[in-house]
């Protein structure tokens, strides 16, 4: 697609228009930066650097990250990587394999897969019209995409239960608040192709292992069964009848949901509504025989695996395709408990996406932002093992060779330049465990001064002794 032809700058000429690529409209102030970027190369070629071109204006406002998004910076990114590495290791151990679906999907997928009436779909999606008129959406979650891919690529024909995991960004236009972002990250997994309660228990066990390996302690596992198309509709009717008498004294959301989606009344967090909700009938007491047996089997399997859980009858999901097992992990030392992850069985999802073949599955998604926040304080950043201080230009060549040798051993090594006093200060600020001094005398003698920054101890060692000393220290 050709870039729009730029006639002039918006700020310099109010009558300027942007034309080309199917567009013909007046230039707006915001176009300036875009135009500058698109034209920078051409401008430089024609007129030299932009600063020397009289009519080239740079944007005057400082550009910042989009509201509700954030930059992940070091050393925090180390924790993100460690959490993700722990997750991948656990997924590997349970024979899960990674799936990467596009961030862009047809809007229809989420309207049908997440539910047209949900807050996510009605209020929070980033939806836009593509140039060909089709409606696209930045994925607000990933289960619908995974099931779409499962159906599209006929993964049901592969052997065994399909066990897929994903790690990546999702997008929802929520009201920005602490710990909630419009671009947020999820670690999730789906086990597709089985209705067995043993699969449910294994998925839950994997979640518990994963959170522990990632460094989260003191979390609680909550489980429930939300029944199926057989026993849930009569329960919802019962709930609707019960609510008729009490909804009038509940919050506005509850009054509305009592009509539209009574199950979601059970979700309400309003303090004054809690005593009323406590007295409502529980779905877990109205399961049909099959759902009851399935739920009992899941609990027994968790018991035999030694996994602690609590049954929470109010743990429900408002969408029709959710069935039977549903679970949540909450965490929070003091006061409010935060949900770290939610999961459940969605045996009817494939059909609601228009698939003729069934794809019963169970999965979960972890809010990675919150998980990282919970474990971040407990884990110090990975240390810099060594700072090499070469004294002068000839020493730099030897120092570079030594740096590469130690880096190949997997050590984290910084090769710095400057006066020795400054380099020692830098080593302190970077938290380096050792400093290696490489000067011309050391090179001639083949022995180098290695300083342990925590003890202050300094030794004169040959190259191979240094490597052994560093790798031994890195293991501790
Ligand atoms: Zn309420
Ligand atoms: Zn049932």
Taking only the tens place, the pLDDT of each residue in 216-262 is 988 999 999 999 989 999 999 999 999 998 989 999 989 988 988 88
Terminal C-alpha separation, the chain: 56
Rounded to whole angstroms, the Cα distance separating 198 from 294 reads 9
Distance (angstroms) between ligand 2 centre and the Cα of 353 equals 22
Quick one: which ligand is closest to 246's CA?
A: 1
Beta-carbon neighbours within 5 Å of ion ligand 1: 250-251, 254, 268, 270, 273
Q: Domain residue spans in the chain?
A: 5-52, 76-231+287-376, 386-475
Stretch (H or E) spanning 314: none
Rounded to whole angstroms, the Cα distance separating 463 from 468 reads 9
Please give the CATH architecture assigned to the domain spanning 386-475: 3-Layer(aba) Sandwich (3.40)
Quick one: which ligand is closest to 325's CA?
A: 2
Strands 219-225 and 310-311: parallel
The predicted pLDDT at position 382 comes to 74
Q: Which residues of 286-314 are buried (b: 16+ CB within 10 A; e: fewer)?
A: bbbeebbebbebbbebbeeeebebeebeb
Q: Is 385 helix (H, G, I), strand (E, B) or coil?
A: coil
Quote the pTM value: 0.81
Quick one: which ligand is closest to 257's CA?
A: 1
Distance (angstroms) between ligand 1 centre and the Cα of 239 equals 14
- Please determine, looking at this structure, whether the domain spanning 76-231+287-376 carries the CATH number 3.30.930.10: yes
Distance (angstroms) between ligand 2 centre and the Cα of 296 equals 13
Rounded to whole angstroms, the Cα distance separating 232 from 263 reads 10
Distance (angstroms) between ligand 2 centre and the Cα of 229 equals 7
The predicted pLDDT at position 20 comes to 54
Distance (angstroms) between ligand 1 centre and the Cα of 286 equals 23
> What torsion, rounded to 10 degrees, do the Cα atoms 103, 107, 109, 115 define?
120
Distance (angstroms) between ligand 2 centre and the Cα of 341 equals 25
Distances (CA, A) of 91 to 151, 163, 326: 22, 9, 20
Distance (angstroms) between ligand 2 centre and the Cα of 321 equals 13
Q: Which two tokens stand for residue 217?
A: 């302690």
Quick one: which ligand is closest to 234's CA?
A: 2
* Residue stretches of the chain with pLDDT short of 70: 1-59, 318-319, 333-337, 378-381
The predicted pLDDT at position 10 comes to 46
> ∠ CA(135), CA(140), CA(142), 5° rounding?
105
Using an 8 Å Cβ cutoff, are 197 and 298 in contact? yes
DSSP code of residue 180: B
Distance (angstroms) between ligand 2 centre and the Cα of 164 equals 27
Report residue 437: phi and psi, to 5°. Answer: -100, 125
| Fold match between domain 76-231+287-376 and domain 386-475 | no
**Number of neighbouring beta carbons within 10 Å of residue 118:** 18
Rounded to whole angstroms, the Cα distance separating 296 from 47 reads 76
Distance (angstroms) between ligand 1 centre and the Cα of 302 equals 33
Quick one: which ligand is closest to 276's CA?
A: 1
Distance (angstroms) between ligand 1 centre and the Cα of 265 equals 6
CB neighbour class for 378 (10 Å; exposed up to 12, middle 13-18, buried from 19): exposed
Quick one: which ligand is closest to 233's CA?
A: 2
The predicted pLDDT at position 11 comes to 45
């Amino acid at each position: 697609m050709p870039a729009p032809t730029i006639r002039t700058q918006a700020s310099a000429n109010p009558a300027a228009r942007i034309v080309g690529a199917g567009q013909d409209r007046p230039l707006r102030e915001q176009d300036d930066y875009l135009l500058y970027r698109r034209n920078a190369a051409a401008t430089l070629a024609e007129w030299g650097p932009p600063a020397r071109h009289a009519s080239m204006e740079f944007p005057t406002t400082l550009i910042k990250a989009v509201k509700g998004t954030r930059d992940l910076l070091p050393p925090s990114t180390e924790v993100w990587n460690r959490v993700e590495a722990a997750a991948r290791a656990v997924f590997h151990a349970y024979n899960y394999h990674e799936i990467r679906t596009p961030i862009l999907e047809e809007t229809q997928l989420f309207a049908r897969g997440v539910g047209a009436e949900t807050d996510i779909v009605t209020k929070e999606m980033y939806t836009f019209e593509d140039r060909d008129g089709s409606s696209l959406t930045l994925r607000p979650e990933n289960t619908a995409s995974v099931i779409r891919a499962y159906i599209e690529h006929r993964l049901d024909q592969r052997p065994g239960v399909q066990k897929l995991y994903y790690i990546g960004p999702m997008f929802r236009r929520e009201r920005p608040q602490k710990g909630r972002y419009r671009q947020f990250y999820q670690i999730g997994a789906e086990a597709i192709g089985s209705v067995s309660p043993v699969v449910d228990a294994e998925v839950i066990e994997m979640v518990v292992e994963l959170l522990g390996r990632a460094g989260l302690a003191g979390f609680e596992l909550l489980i429930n069964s939300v029944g199926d198309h057989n026993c849930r509709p009569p329960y919802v009717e019962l709930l609707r009848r019960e609510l008729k008498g009490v909804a009038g004294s509940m919050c506005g959301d509850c009054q509305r949901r009592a009509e539209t989606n009574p199950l979601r009344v059970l979700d309400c967090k309003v303090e004054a509504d809690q005593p009323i909700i406590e007295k409502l009938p529980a779905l877990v007491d109205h399961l049909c025989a099959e759902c009851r047996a399935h739920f009992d089997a899941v609990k027994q399997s968790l018991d035999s695996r030694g996994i602690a859980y609590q049954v929470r009858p109010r743990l429900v999901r408002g969408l029709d395709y959710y069935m039977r097992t549903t679970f949540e992990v909450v965490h929070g030392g003091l006061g409010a408990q935060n949900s770290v992850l939610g999961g459940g069985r969605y045996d009817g999802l494939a059909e609601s996406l228009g698939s003729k073949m069934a794809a019963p599955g169970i999965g979960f998604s972890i809010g990675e932002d919150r998980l990282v926040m919970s474990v971040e304080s407990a884990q110090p950043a990975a240390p810099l093992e060594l700072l090499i201080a070469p004294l002068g230009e000839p020493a730099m060549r030897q120092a570079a060779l030594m740096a590469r040798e130690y880096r190949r051993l997997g050590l984290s090594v910084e090769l710095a330049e400057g006066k020795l006093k400054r380099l020692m200060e830098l080593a302190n600020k970077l938290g380096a465990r050792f400093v290696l001094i490489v000067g011309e005398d050391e090179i001639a003698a083949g022995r180098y001064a290695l300083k342990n920054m925590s003890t202050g101890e300094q030794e004169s060692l040959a190259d191979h002794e240094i490597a052994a000393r560093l790798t031994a220290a890195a293991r501790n």
